A and B are shown apart, each in its own frame.
Chain A
């Protein structure tokens, strides 16, 4: 075997004083990193196979295991880091595009962490959310600018279809294919119980999940997988996916090996065939084209469902959003460059796109300037990690947030970023039946419900502190935000003052 110059990134550390050789690590590792040596009567392992997913660590009944970063190192070099060198080796080995999954892990600034929230003192006193009503219900969609009356003076119903959310959070698009049946069921059931929405992604909707329709956003992407009239009418809203934060400018690719019987049926493609989404929608080359698709969809769904257009946050996102707002879309979803993926070319994931915080602020400002902000709802995603991030997003101008990485974490994901291998030990990003069953939706859905409930409590707590009792009053309320350690350009784009000002 030729030398591949790849060395184990992690070391499995086993405390043999604690190991009872129950072999749960061996049985649960889909990468086959552990095994039992009969002769030695002990567990052994191969560090090179470890992806640091912690499945073994979490199930080890005696806590005999931990995974540490390998101390093995290249000679220190600030320019040619170990990671960079290894990627070169990898490409020299394979000749291929580097693939990665989940969100951009590189040390770009996280603006959420450079924004601070306000609280009331003395005047405009804070509100105790446990004693007083606190409203987080959110209606997503077009808001009429004025009240219209008919000739008799009665108010005309000029309301467009909206999405009602109990709290301004939704589960972002993850297709059946990229994630498992059980993960989808967990998301669907949680959305249903929470009174929010989950999103099918571009993989169609499994027939078992049509019953969760009132809490489902059905997606139409460039591959149009699984799209039919029934599908469009199955959900509460329809999302046209133009772009995704993790891979702006390119389409998704589900390898044929993952296209099982069930997935082939759901996606309406032959079993075992690669599901390749084109980079663009081949019928959209202008805002006018987009408008055609928006109205085609509205026509197909009898104008009863709001239409969302989802784009990746890229350089001229504000102008694009302005166009989308004029295309007839009810909601714009913007996905920041930290958004996750089941698989994306590493170079694109890590180098293309812009932070969601900046994109959101500039889109909101631009739509306000143009007087069309109320024509659309704005949903942002691409690494909303906590209730604090959520509050900051709303104050920057979002109506609601999409979460997906956080949702995966709630279901057990340990961010090992090996989704592309299809061997997810947590039963999320895999189609292998023995692995899929590891995510029992009874547990998964409950954990998702817990997470969103917890965030909702925290949002109310933070709003109360600001003296605000309705999420409506927080939206776009940038006075509640201050920057810390930011340049004046950054503050300018975010439309906020520096802390202390």
Chain B
């Protein structure tokens, strides 16, 4: 399945992914209106230290600890995408406790969480972070190694 992958070799630490992500999920048609003087709530975040930078967003794990641990059933896997039903979510943050990548954050209300859903719930098409990355440090690819491929690789 296609997922978002990041390559720190090409990450410039420009943080544009965070802005394009927040905009794409704002539901507002103009980026200026969506982001000007508003708190940034990206579902992808850039880590930076000592000249190294990379963006981190939900890995959409095949064995998702967040989904398994979700106390409400708000998190579920739909066609390989881990999505959240914010109507069900009560913001207990068990998923924040569980996610080994630190990719789940409280949403604006504080009563639910927000996470990358690969832009499946907005009109973006290809994930906004991928489209907005100026250096292809974030890509949307199918890197699943199927069993037959694995054998071939061996």
Contacts and interface: CB of A to CB of B under 8 A. Distances in A.
Interface in A172-200: none
Interface stretch (A73-81, A232-240, A375-383, A432-440): A432-440
A18 B132 CA distance: 18
B147 to A, nearest CB: 29
B78 interface: no
Interface in A16-56: 17-20, 22-24, 27-28
B20 to A, nearest CB: 7
Nearest to A439: B135
Q: In which size bucket is the chain A interface?
A: 10 to 19
B12 A28 contact: yes
A24 B51 contact: no
A61 interface: yes
A442 B23 CA distance: 27
B12 A20 contact: no
Residue in A18, A19, A20, A27 whose Cβ sees the most chain B Cβ within 10 Å: A20
Contacts of B102: none
A contacts with B: majority SS: loop
A24 B31 contact: no
A61 B12 contact: no
Contact of B10 (A22, A61, A437): A437
A23 B16 contact: no
Contact of B12 (A17, A23, A437, A442): A437
B137 interface: yes
Contacts of A319: none
Contacts of A440: 10, 135-137
Contacts of A27: 12-15
B50 to A, nearest CB: 11
B31 A20 contact: yes
Contacts, number: 52
A62 B37 CA distance: 14
A59 interface: yes
Interface in A130-188: none
A438 B51 CA distance: 13
Nearest to A443: B136
Nearest to A23: B15
Contacts of B9: 437
Contacts of B19: 20, 22, 24, 61
Contacts of A22: 15-16, 19, 35
A61 B32 CA distance: 9
Nearest to B137: A440
Contacts of A19: 36
A20 B134 contact: no
Contacts of A61: 16, 19-20, 23, 31, 132
B14 A59 contact: yes
Nearest to A58: B134
Contacts of A434: 12, 51
Nearest to A20: B35
Contacts of B135: 437-438, 440, 443
B139 to A, nearest CB: 9
A433 B51 contact: yes
A23 B36 CA distance: 12
Contacts of B16: 22, 24, 59, 61
B15 A62 contact: no
B25 to A, nearest CB: 15
Interface string B13-54: 111100110010000000110011000000000000001000
A23 B14 CA distance: 8
Nearest to B13: A27
Contacts of A433: 51
Given A433-B51, A438-B135, A20 B36 contact: yes
B132 A442 contact: no
B128 to A, nearest CB: 11
Given A22-B16, A59-B16, A433-B51, A17 B32 contact: yes
B61 to A, nearest CB: 27
A20 B32 contact: yes
Residue in A19, A22, A28, A59 whose Cβ sees the most chain B Cβ within 10 Å: A22
B94 to A, nearest CB: 32
B124 to A, nearest CB: 14
Given A18-B32, A437-B10, A24 B20 contact: no
Interface in A53-107: 59, 61-62
B44 to A, nearest CB: 14
Residue in B9, B12, B13, B132 whose Cβ sees the most chain A Cβ within 10 Å: B12
Interface of B: 9-10, 12-16, 19-20, 23, 31-32, 35-36, 51, 132, 134-137
5 smallest CB-CB distances across A and B, nearest first, come from A20-B35, A440-B10, A440-B135, A20-B36, A22-B19
15 contacts: A18-B36, A20-B31, A27-B13, A27-B14, A28-B12, A61-B19, A61-B20, A62-B31, A62-B32, A433-B51, A434-B12, A434-B51, A440-B10, A440-B136, A443-B136
Interface of A: 17-20, 22-24, 27-28, 59, 61-62, 433-434, 437-438, 440, 442-443
Given A20-B36, A437-B12, A440-B137, 20 more contacts: A18-B32, A20-B32, A22-B15, A24-B14, A24-B19, A27-B12, A27-B13, A28-B12, A28-B14, A59-B14, A61-B19, A61-B20, A61-B23, A61-B31, A434-B12, A437-B135, A438-B12, A442-B136, A443-B135, A443-B136
